[in-house]
């Protein structure tokens, strides 16, 4: 029984939100990884950080993150969702809706930081206005996936906004050795924090990411 089913976590993002890489185990060949685990939604859910967060708080979950997604594609998915039937159903059945937005690389969109900042400001304002007309409390947070952006105007609801290295890749690197300031794919690969084929966090690192989000979300539950 879901004791806290009045709350739902909704996630948007790319493969770092989906959970790609968490099916990898030490010594696994590339062929086996690609055949069984590379983009297996079931494995990504069962071993990924989203399920750990949802299970910890005993809440419901709805995911819109997809492999190789761009920020623009996620915004388009969000637009369809918030004007659709599913969201209307949630407003009648939930007391709280929490949204986590994973911001991916700007190179995928061929856009710039200014455009992204405008998108974030737009969605923050849109959801604020939307929240005034619905029963549940609606809260949204942003986070950088594998690259910390240099925002000129840092959104207050950006997780880790007080740090220069706030992305999930930096998180697992710094968690591995707090004395190091070095982060990035090379360090993560050398220290076996990411899978060697797609360069996404291994299963054990999803526990680190989950704890990060759990601690951040606790005051909002």
| CA pair distance 128, 114, nearest whole angstrom | 21
Whole-angstrom CA distances from 53 to 25, 170, 210, 211 are 22, 20, 6, 8
pLDDT for 1 beyond 60: no
* Cβ count near 114 (within 10 Å): 11
Does residue 2 form part of some domain?
A: no
- 142: tokens are 């942003």
Tell me, yes or no, whether 1 lies in a domain.
Answer: no
pLDDT, tens digit, for every residue of 101-126?
Answer: 999 988 888 678 999 999 999 999 99
- Res. 39: pLDDT tops 80: no
Look up the CATH number of the domain holding residue 52: 3.40.50.1110
What does the pLDDT read at residue 213? 97
Q: Which pLDDT band holds residue 205 (cuts at 50, 70, 90)?
A: very high
Residue 177: pLDDT band with limits 50, 70, 90? confident
Residue 175 lies in a domain: yes
Cβ-contact 197, 33 below 8 angstroms: yes
Q: Can you tell me the distance from the alpha carbon of 89 to that of 67, in angstroms, rounded to the nearest whole number?
A: 27
Please name every residue paired with 103 in a beta bridge, in sequence order, or none if there are none.
Answer: 144
- Whether residue 176 lies inside any domain: the answer is yes
Number of structural domains in the chain: 1
Indicate the pTM of the whole model: 0.91
Domain that holds residue 46: 7-220
């Amino acid at each position: 029984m879901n004791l806290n089913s009045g709350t739902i976590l909704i996630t948007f993002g790319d493969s770092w939100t989906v959970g790609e890489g968490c099916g990898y185990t030490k010594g696994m060949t590339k062929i086996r990884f690609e055949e069984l685990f590379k983009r297996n939604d079931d494995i990504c859910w069962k071993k990924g950080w989203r399920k750990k967060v949802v299970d910890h708080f005993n809440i419901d979950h709805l995911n819109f993150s997809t492999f190789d997604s761009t920020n623009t594609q996620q915004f388009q998915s969000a637009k369809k969702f918030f004007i659709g039937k599913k969201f209307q159903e949630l407003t009648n059945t939930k007391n709280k809706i929490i949204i986590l937005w994973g911001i991916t690389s700007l190179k995928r969109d061929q856009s710039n930081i200014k455009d992204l900042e405008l998108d974030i400001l737009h969605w923050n304002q849109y959801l604020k206005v939307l929240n005034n007309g619905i029963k549940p409390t609606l809260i949204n947070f942003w986070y950088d996936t594998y690259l910390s952006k240099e925002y000129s105007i840092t959104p207050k609801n950006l997780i880790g906004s007080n740090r220069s290295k706030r992305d999930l890749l930096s998180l697992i690197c710094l968690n591995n050795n707090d004395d190091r300031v070095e982060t990035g794919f090379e360090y993560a690969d050398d220290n076996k924090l990411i899978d060697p084929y797609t360069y996404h966090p291994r299963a054990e690192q999803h526990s680190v990411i989950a704890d990060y989000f759990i601690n951040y979300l606790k005051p909002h539950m």
